[in-house]
Structure 1
């Protein structure tokens, strides 16, 4: 196995383990939002959940975001009118894969 492939495989496995570590056991649908907020305050890998100002339907009710090295991780939670979690989402992204290199020349400019 080439070193480049080995490093990529090792990194992928490490990231998968990180995802498992930050997966919130308490945030399963059916938990109260108070329980989930307390869990997030006690969790070392993500910042505590905070209330979100919903500008449109579909925004989460609570969210937390953090970044480390070249990754960003967000944790979003939706609740019903009784304060029970109905949905959650953990999103981890690599900044390098999301960035677009912009090159400007005499023939190409920003529009």
Structure 2
């Protein structure tokens, strides 16, 4: 014989777990999209590196390009060329006389 009260409780618990998982999934998808939003930068403007780890200044706008130096969080940079729409997210900067490219999401004002 089935205990219908136990079955109802299990079903309600399953719905709650499902709702929490769906909500968490939507939050993660929204967070992922938000992190890839293009940030507008102005050529010649000062900016700062915003990253949890050191960011590599690349010779060319490509993740496989040679690294010139690494830049720590909070370090000031000068934006030389915000052609991130042309270079698919890469921004040309000057960091202590080193001119190269970093991923645009790592540059803040």
TM-score by length of 2: 0.27
Higher relative strand content? 2
